[in-house]
Structure 1
Amino acid sequence: MVEMMKYLKPYRKQLFLVLLFSLIAILFELYLPTLMAEIVDVGIVNSDVSFILQTGGWMLVCSLVAIILMVGVSYFASKVSLGFGRDMRRHLFVHIEHFSLEEYEKFGSASLITRTTNDVKVVQDVINMMQRMMTRAPLMLVGGVILAVSRDRTLSLVFLVALPILALVIFIVARKAIPLFSAMQKKTDRLTLILREALTGVRVVRAFNRVEHERTRFNQANEDFRDTGIKVGKLMAFMFPIMLIIMNFTNIAIVWFGAIRIDQGEMQVGNLLAFIQYAAMILMSLIMLSMAFIMIPRAQVSAKRLSEVLQAKPMITDPVQEMLPEHNHGRIEFKDVTFRYEGAEKPVLKKISFTAMPGETTAIIGSTGSGKTTVLQLIPRFYDVESGEILIDGQDIKNIKQSTLRSKIGYVPQKASLFSGTIFENIAFGKEDATEEEIYTALKTAQAFDFVEKRGKGIHSTLEQAGVNLSGGQKQRLSIARSLVRKPQIYLFDDSFSALDYKTDRILRDALKSETAEATLIIVAQRVNTVKDAEKIIVLNEGEVAGIGTHAELLENNKIYQEIVASQQNGEVSA
């Protein structure tokens, strides 16, 4: 929690005003019982109406000033806490954007969403409460004790019994609450994960008639979260009645012993009334502190989770001094590249070596799990190699800044990813300053122009989140258009034609030849029909290069490629 305090530095002025206003307001509040005691002991005893009215007027003035100041406290406290929440969410988002895929996989998207929303909200609320209570309560406690003792030292001995009991109750409840709050945040992660999976995979859930299964899974997580919340609620329900009982018995003791002291002539009635009010302030300040101490453990759990994200250093970083390639053609070379995913026992790629030349199409084919997609993901440095080198125009990509490297690349992922917004905005995602003419050219090359024009507003038609109002083939073609509009030196197509029919596949690849004539083009595909016209075909098998050559060469002398062709003989090749 202490680590979060550094994010409050921009709000030092507001924090100072909160502290100042709280101090002045409490001084006025602490003065009220003294004025009331004077009304009783002087005004009422002497039947001095003018004194009563004058002192009562001062009480009204003090009350109004205290109210105005506390409104100011609430305003500035809200400004600080909400500003902190805004800054923290922005800082988290920017930090998460710099994560490599390994960090994303480590935390999980559901947990990152929960941390950026729910955990920030918890810390934000506690900061708001701390400004209102943690500044007010200690000042009121200290001031109340001093003034109560100044009224009657002997009667103040009551607090020596009440305060330790209250402190013990707070300690016991806080000790039991901390593990429960930690568990609640983890169960929130689990709940978010299940909900996210159910919503994003709604088509699959319904297609396989697993609605009841998902409902049961959600209910179990929801009830687990509820049960933990009930345990926390029971703790709170136990604590406050106990504290009220202690407060009431303390008041009874004060009135009892105060009456005895009045009867003995050692105390005046006004002083007893003032003492009762100071006692109420002291006990109320302890209740406020107890609420803060109960909420702080939960905030500590959330703050720890936020710190875990903020302290996570990206595995992939930019070089201290960038070394740009001497030439700018887009030539890619893999030199004995070995790679394994975090925690994996075996490498997914082993001693991979090949060269992709500008103006040529390099295709990668192989069975599922052979490492085709991984090869493509290593080029933009989504992951770093375990050993070996990946060179672009003779320069190791580790010596090039990620932004510079990726500006050379047009990447079309295996799963088409679109954003809510217009078609124009989605295509221009690849090039911010793209003109409508460039958008139309890219759409025509990607064979997407016809279906886009048939939509109501053409390129200004709106897409739903993740492009759910498009077919798989339409989403793939828009993803390809987004890459084309960028006009990069390197094109990476990761099985980006899988949802297209054979005819559209052929037309699209023919159109790409002229559009990407001077660029380096690497295509990952399952279909032989998609790769057979490539100048170079790389056959992968269990993470190793099993052969490199043209379609004719591999068909003649590569057994694995022959098996792939044979398995598709009745499909793509015959087509």
Structure 2
Amino acid sequence: MIKTLAKCIGKYKKESIITPIFTAVEVFLEILIPFITASIIDKGIQAGDMRKVGIYGGIMLIIAFLSLFCGIQAGKYAAAASTGFACNLREKMYENIQTFSFSNIDKFSTAGLVTRMTTDVTNVQNAYQMIIRIAVRAPLMMICSITMCVIISPRLSIIFLVALIFLGFVLFFIIYKVTPVFTSGFEKYDELNASVQENISGIRVVKAFVREDHEKKKFNKAADNLYKTFVKAESFLAFNNPTMMLVVYGCIVALSWFASHFIVSGSITTGNLTSMFSYVMSMLMALMMLSMIFVMVSMSAASARRISEVLNEKADLANPEKPYEEVEDGRIDFNHVNFSYRKNSTEDTLHDIDIHINAGETIGIIGGTGCGKSSFVSLISRLYDVTEGSVCVGGKDVRTYDMDALRNQVAVVLQKNVLFSGTILDNLRWGDDNASYEDCVEACKQACADEFIERMPKKYDTWIEQGGTNVSGGQRQRLCIARALLKKPKVLILDDSTSAVDTATDAKIKQAFAQKIPGTTKLIVSQRISSIQDADRIIVLEDGKVSGFDTHENLMENNKVYREICEVQMQGGGDFDESAE
């Protein structure tokens, strides 16, 4: 874990090294001040020599200003190092997340990833700043203070050793108890963020069904769980300050008692006693800082582990050593394919799929909910890898291609259409960064999106809100189809992506495909017979198996599942999935 995080320090190593150096110099200069104070009292004031008071006072001022300068520099470099480290952590996490396959993403919740990149990184940032500055200052201050106390009076120094041992046991107990509580606490943060994210993204549904009270209760429950967890943690941390104050006052009382006897006997001077009190306070302040560091490190250790999980997660899918960069054509072959989302699962989502599709064909895919339609098309662009068998595009196994090259030639319009904040042109150019205005217009014509775009005041410069909330479902689907067409792919997959489009527009889109991109292999996943009945061939899926693969006419004659679907939809009633079973 530490090695993983240390790699993210990157270009901020210089600041991370300079900070402890300035901190160390600051401590050494501060340690000299009480020593000089003792000389002022013993050699100047008590001896009645004002010249030495002036000399030692001047030296003290110079040392104080130098110490202040070093402290300012240490703070400046510590801030730069910690914020830079946090920036690198977020960038590395985000960069690694972009390499994840769907199966990797399935391991982490969206809310969990957001918490890791915000709250967890902030905790690690604060801990890192304390480590490179306070964790250097506190031990050095404590060691130097104890050393000076031993030099002044070895016997009185025993008081501090006893105090250190006592404090060490208490701190160990607190850390032992609080660490697992913080670990579970950040999981509660994930639940809280998930509740907020789900509510905000689905706020229209919440209001439509008048479920505000239900959502409030769900959020309050998550917030209450988080509250209870951190109250438990803080109840252990509450022992920290009272223990520190007990040690501080105990040391002062003990030192005053024993030192008074030493002054009477003449074994210690008033100046040395004064400086010893200063060293005692410095040492105890160092102990308090150390206890704060232990608390912060305990809290951030859980965050550090969660961040490391994301950084160490390796993508399940990777390019081969010498990948193919070109897809010859749109041929698709499923060779006895079995597929399961879980590697060790005994049940396959897809079972023994063995079909062959020619380049340029239009293939319809239909079946009941959960039959494996989306899983089937996801294998073609290698969003997942098959469990057994192989999927080939252009005559080559998809696992032998460079994934970027493959996915640029296999365009997918997913079931859940997503648009991003920006203009319509910005969203369209996700398909091709270098697409001209004319290319975008042509793609929109093929997807029948130009009809509504031309009616908008700013046309293609119209701003799309995050998630495409200011356009209708059908408009969003057509924009996503146009975006995919800009890739000029060899294979185009529409995963139920015209479900919100009316029948007439759906027919226009299919006609445009036939005329404008005849050489592109088109796979159309749909729940509507009208969307696929004119396809060259139709795949009927049932329980992860191919129930039929033929033309509409032949399936009507020979396939019971397909015939029942058609009859139900022609009658205009009934439940599609129930009839398909």
TM range (shorter): over 0.9
Query: Normalising by structure 2, what TM-score?
Result: 0.96
Secondary structure of 1:354's partner?
strand
Deviation at 1:100, TM superposition (A): 1.1
Secondary structure of 1:7's partner?
coil
- What does residue 329 of structure 1 align with? 329
Partner AA of 2:340 in structure 1: R
Partner AA of 2:263 in structure 1: I
- What does residue 170 of structure 2 align with? 169
Structure 1's 345 and 194: CA in aligned 2 closer, same or farther, altered over 3 A? farther
Superposed, 1:99-114 pairs within 5 Å as 99-114=100-115
Take 1:373 and 1:160, find their aligned partners in 2: how far apart are those partners?
69
Q: Does 1:208 align with 2:209?
A: yes
- What does residue 391 of structure 1 align with? 392
| Structure 2 gaps, min length 5 | 574-581
- What does residue 432 of structure 2 align with? 431
Take 2:178 and 2:457, find their aligned partners in 1: how far apart are those partners?
57
Contact 2:330 / 2:360 at 8 angstroms: preserved in 1?
no
Take 1:128 and 1:494, find their aligned partners in 2: how far apart are those partners?
49
- What does residue 341 of structure 1 align with? 341
Take 1:249 and 1:305, find their aligned partners in 2: how far apart are those partners?
41
Deviation at 1:233, TM superposition (A): 2.5
Deviation at 1:313, TM superposition (A): 1.7
| Structure 1 gaps, min length 5 | none
Take 1:393 and 1:157, find their aligned partners in 2: how far apart are those partners?
82
Partner AA of 2:330 in structure 1: G
1:459-514 CA deviation, whole Å, 9 max, x = no partner?
11111110011111010000001011121111000011100111111112111211
Query: Normalising by structure 1, what TM-score?
Result: 0.97
1:118-137 CA deviation, whole Å, 9 max, x = no partner?
11111111001111211111
- What does residue 135 of structure 2 align with? 134
Deviation at 1:9, TM superposition (A): 4.9
Take 2:166 and 2:487, find their aligned partners in 1: how far apart are those partners?
70
1:278-333 CA deviation, whole Å, 9 max, x = no partner?
111111111111111111122211111111122222111111121456x7112111
Contact 1:356 / 1:522 at 8 angstroms: preserved in 2?
no
Deviation at 1:345, TM superposition (A): 4.0
Superposed, 1:156-555 pairs within 5 Å as 156-323=157-324, 328-342=328-342, 344-555=345-556
Take 1:323 and 1:416, find their aligned partners in 2: how far apart are those partners?
29
Structure 1's 436 and 571: CA in aligned 2 closer, same or farther, altered over 3 A? farther
Take 2:516 and 2:195, find their aligned partners in 1: how far apart are those partners?
43
Percent of matched pairs sharing the same residue: 36
Partner AA of 1:334 in structure 2: F
Which consecutive aligned stretches of 4+ in structure 1 deviate over 3 angstroms post-superposition?
none
Take 2:257 and 2:267, find their aligned partners in 1: how far apart are those partners?
14
Take 1:55 and 1:378, find their aligned partners in 2: how far apart are those partners?
81
Take 2:518 and 2:6, find their aligned partners in 1: how far apart are those partners?
56
Deviation at 1:239, TM superposition (A): 1.3
Take 1:27 and 1:245, find their aligned partners in 2: how far apart are those partners?
27
Secondary structure of 1:417's partner?
coil
1:426-453 CA deviation, whole Å, 9 max, x = no partner?
0001100111111111111111112112
Partner AA of 1:503 in structure 2: A
Partner AA of 1:244 in structure 2: M
Contact 1:324 / 1:399 at 8 angstroms: preserved in 2?
no
Deviation at 1:571, TM superposition (A): 4.1
Structure 1's 86 and 324: CA in aligned 2 closer, same or farther, altered over 3 A? closer
How many residue pairs are counted as aligned between the two chains? 571
Take 1:324 and 1:295, find their aligned partners in 2: how far apart are those partners?
50
Take 1:509 and 1:525, find their aligned partners in 2: how far apart are those partners?
13
Partner AA of 2:519 in structure 1: E
Take 1:391 and 1:7, find their aligned partners in 2: how far apart are those partners?
39
Take 1:559 and 1:445, find their aligned partners in 2: how far apart are those partners?
35
Secondary structure of 1:243's partner?
helix
Take 1:293 and 1:172, find their aligned partners in 2: how far apart are those partners?
11
Partner AA of 1:223 in structure 2: D
Deviation at 1:73, TM superposition (A): 0.6
305-314 or 118-127, which moves further after superposition?
Answer: 305-314
1:94-129 CA deviation, whole Å, 9 max, x = no partner?
111111111111112111111122111111110011
Secondary structure of 2:240's partner?
helix
Structure 1's 520 and 176: CA in aligned 2 closer, same or farther, altered over 3 A? same
Root-mean-square deviation (CA), in Å?
A: 1.4
Partner AA of 2:273 in structure 1: L
- What does residue 2 of structure 2 align with? 2
